[in-house]
Amino acid sequence: MLTYLTLIFCCQLVGELLVSATGLPVPGPVIGMLLLFAGLLLHGSLPADLGRVADALITNLSLLFVPAGVGVMLHLQLLGSELVPISIALVVSTLITIAISGGMMLWLNRGRATARHNRGEDT
């Protein structure tokens, strides 16, 4: 299990290095997650131990929000003075996320329906 935890952190490190080297406007952990996803696609399946490590991380995910909560409390005055732009950014990003998620769902379901139709299962 330590091997897979190391793999997750190495993917994150490589993502951070890529962002630093290229100046991409994407967080390093996101690039690392994409690298891990690509590796899993190449592997063809999710190893059981990697699944257990991921489950353990997700179980303790709330602990990772403590530093962010402390940061919010520390900079409460700054957040208050920038309330309107922050609120607009949150609303716009939420709407974009909903639109993209809905569009992806429609696109993926359309492909599934086409495959069913081609197999003659849509009766």
2 and 49 co-located in one domain = yes
64 in a structural domain: no
47 and 96 co-located in one domain = no
Using the 3D structure, point to which of 12, 36, 59 is the last residue of a domain: 59
41 and 75 co-located in one domain = no
Domain that holds residue 102: 69-123
Our measurement of the distance from residue 102's CA atom to the centroid of its chain's CA atoms, rounded to an integer in Å, reads 17
Tell me the C-alpha distance between 53 and 50, whole Å: 5
Structural domains in the chain (count): 2
Tell me how far CA of residue 41 lies from CA of 17, 35, 44, 79, 83, in angstroms.
Answer: 22, 10, 5, 41, 42
Supply the pLDDT for residue 90.
95
Average pLDDT along the chain, 123 residues, taken 10 residues at a time: 93 95 92 94 92 92 83 87 94 97 91 73 61
7 and 55 co-located in one domain = yes
54 and 100 co-located in one domain = no
Supply the pLDDT for residue 113.
72
Using the 3D structure, point to which of 59, 88, 103 is the last residue of a domain: 59
End-to-end Cα separation, the chain, in angstroms? 47
Supply the pLDDT for residue 84.
94
41 and 11 co-located in one domain = yes
Supply the pLDDT for residue 123.
53
47 in a structural domain: yes
Question: What's the pTM value of the predicted model, to 2 decimals?
Answer: 0.57
86 and 121 co-located in one domain = yes
43 and 90 co-located in one domain = no
